[in-house]
Amino acid sequence: MSDPTTPTSEQDWRATLSPAEYAVLREGGTEPAFRGEYTDTETEGVYACRACGAELFTSREKFHSGCGWPAFFAPADADNVRLIEDRSHGMIRTEVRCAKCDSHLGHVFRGEGFSTPTDERYCINSISMTLRPATN
């Protein structure tokens, strides 16, 4: 069942998102490295899709990879993201999309040798998320 508050047309998305958000979330763009709002954030909380509010990652899965974008070793719930093959730019990668609204979030890379539980790096654009700080 669709959420009535989530835009359904590209015209609605353009009216809802800023031009920079639209470029990343709806057109598959990438924000510049080391410039995103959450690259080095250590605030505890939940990272939600900026387009629809779906919970994507938590601070428990976030780690410093040095890649220039927020990195997570796993999503909060695997059902909240969709992984698809991306053959753009002469590479074969795995794109990460929001399962609820199909917005582009970033890419996941495997086998890079990080000392995390999964040896996966979900390299996610800050602009595709909103951090909801934990309330203690």
Known catalytic residues? 123
Q: Which residue has the tokens 């951090």?
A: 131
Pure H helices in the chain: 10-16, 19-25
How distant, in Å, are the alpha carbons of 28, 82, 126 from that of 6? Answer: 18, 17, 20
- What would the two tokens of residue 123 be? 């390299």
- Strands in the chain per DSSP E: 45-49, 55-58, 62-63, 71-72, 81-86, 93-98, 104-110, 120-124, 129-133
Closest among 73, 74, 79, 69 to 99, alpha carbons compared: 79
